[in-house]
């Protein structure tokens, strides 16, 4: 194997996998990944679960659980680990893996893809947020993804597939730790009760005029550019791409919709209608008879007082 001398545990026997799941359930945090078989078909199913217990990404603490066509083992994994709120589960692009691990029951999930996306580019200067890109950036490790699209439904898994599967959960904890450090720099914990209102209002007023002027210029140039590229049939210029899409809108009156559904014995339309001020006025006499959903909308807005607009900074 790629990691000479390591003890990556590739488990294929049900009993061993159950023991491994029980062992993994003792940790407060796990770094996980999955591989799916027949991913190009409708018959996609989970083939392998990789788990790591060491924050440093120690290859000795990697488990490869072969769960291909073993729904009872997958269920054990879900109930013991995925649905267990006491264990933090870290995935890259968690939404993909959780499709096969019962998203509805999943608890205490961390997604490194979402973490990376939330960090400003100035702190994380990468082209995209794929695992491969983050591994190269944080671990200086070129991830070979050629095995990603290999046949994960074939048995036995090749040594190259096992290496690939293990490597994902070797780099994942390192990426996770690095992202946590960047997250702390990007968004230090702030308590609104203790914020300095003088400093914030001054900063807000200093920035506002520049921002408004820049925004106007930006929108003006953008609109001119759209019109110009459209008129000149230019699809690409200086890295700016032009795209034109058309779509159809259909409208029907509610009365017609009701008439047609009744005539065709279809279920009555149950779409909610926003009760605007106008509707509220019209329905006043029967307002108390109308079952309705009510929700309070709270919005906070800021405005610079007119008599202070000209204060120089």
Partner DNA sequence: GTGGATAAACTGAAATACGC
Partner DNA sequence: GCGTATTTCAGTTTATCCAC
Interface contacts to DNA, rule CB under 7 A: 33-36, 39-42, 92-93, 95-96, 99, 103, 113-114, 117-118, 128-133, 145, 148-149, 152, 168, 241, 243, 245, 247, 249, 274, 276-278, 297, 299, 301, 303
Toward DNA, which CB reaches closer, 210 or 277?
277
Toward DNA, which CB reaches closer, 86 or 226?
226
| Shortest spacing between CB 241 and DNA, in angstroms | 7
Which one, of 176, 170, 173, 177, lies nearest residue 64 by Cα? Answer: 170
Toward DNA, which CB reaches closer, 5 or 239?
239
Beta strand residue intervals within the chain, DSSP E: 9-11, 29-37, 45-52, 62-66, 88-91, 109-111, 236-237, 240-241
Toward DNA, which CB reaches closer, 189 or 273?
273
Toward DNA, which CB reaches closer, 4 or 40?
40
| Shortest spacing between CB 152 and DNA, in angstroms | 5
Q: Which residues make beta-bridge pairs with 236?
A: 241
Pairing mode, strands 88-91 and 29-37:
parallel
| Shortest spacing between CB 235 and DNA, in angstroms | 12
| Shortest spacing between CB 194 and DNA, in angstroms | 26
DSSP-based helix, strand, coil % in the chain, nearest 5: 45, 10, 45
Toward DNA, which CB reaches closer, 26 or 41?
41
| Shortest spacing between CB 125 and DNA, in angstroms | 14
The two tokens of residue 231 are 């008129």
The two tokens of residue 245 are 């899409």
Q: How far is CA 120 from the centre of its chain?
A: 16
| Shortest spacing between CB 13 and DNA, in angstroms | 22
The two tokens of residue 286 are 């029967």
Q: Looking at residue 87, what DSSP letter applies?
A: S
| Shortest spacing between CB 26 and DNA, in angstroms | 25
Toward DNA, which CB reaches closer, 113 or 170?
113
To the nearest 10°, the Cα dihedral for 300, 306, 308, 309? 90
| Shortest spacing between CB 222 and DNA, in angstroms | 8
The two tokens of residue 275 are 């009760």
Q: How many helices (H) and strands (E) does the chain have?
A: 9, 8
Task: Determine contact, residues 71/45, Cβ cutoff 8 Å.
Answer: no
Toward DNA, which CB reaches closer, 89 or 129?
129
The two tokens of residue 280 are 């509220």
Distance (Å, rounded) from C-alpha 110 to C-alpha 173?
Answer: 12
| Shortest spacing between CB 52 and DNA, in angstroms | 13
Task: Determine contact, residues 280/294, Cβ cutoff 8 Å.
Answer: no
Pairing mode, strands 45-52 and 29-37:
antiparallel
Toward DNA, which CB reaches closer, 42 or 194?
42
């Amino acid at each position: 194997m790629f990691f000479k001398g390591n003890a990556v545990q590739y488990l294929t026997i049900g009993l061993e996998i159950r023991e491994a799941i029980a062992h993994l359930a003792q940790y407060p945090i796990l770094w996980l990944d999955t591989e799916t078989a027949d991913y190009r078909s409708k018959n996609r199913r989970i083939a392998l679960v990789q788990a790591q217990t060491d924050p440093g990404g120690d290859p000795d603490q990697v488990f490869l659980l072969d769960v291909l066509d073993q729904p009872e083992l997958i269920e054990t994994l879900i109930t013991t680990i995925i649905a267990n709120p006491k264990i933090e589960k870290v995935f890259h692009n968690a939404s993909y893996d959780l499709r096969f691990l019962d998203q509805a029951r999943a608890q205490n999930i961390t997604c490194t893809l979402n973490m990376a996306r939330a960090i400003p580019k100035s702190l994380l200067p990468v082209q995209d947020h794929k695992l491969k890109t983050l591994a190269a950036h944080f671990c200086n490790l070129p991830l070979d993804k050629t095995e990603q699209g290999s046949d994960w439904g074939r048995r036995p898994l090749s040594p190259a597939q096992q290496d690939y599967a293990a490597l994902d959960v070797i780099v994942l904890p390192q990426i996770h730790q690095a992202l946590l450090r960047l997250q702390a720099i990007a968004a230090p914990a702030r308590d609104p009760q203790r914020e300095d209102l003088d400093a914030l209002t001054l900063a807000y007023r200093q920035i506002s005029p520049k921002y408004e002027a820049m925004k106007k210029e930006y929108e003006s140039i953008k609109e001119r550019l759209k019109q110009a590229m459209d008129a000149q049939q230019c699809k690409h210029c200086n890295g700016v791409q032009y795209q034109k899409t058309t779509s159809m809108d259909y409208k029907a009156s509610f009365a017609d919709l009701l008439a047609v559904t009744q005539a065709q014995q279809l279920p009555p339309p149950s779409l909610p209608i926003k009760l605007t001020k106008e509707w509220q006025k019209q329905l006043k006499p029967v307002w108390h008879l109308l079952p309705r959903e009510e929700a309070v909308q709270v919005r906070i807005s800021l405005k610079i007082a007119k008599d202070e607009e000209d204060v120089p900074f």
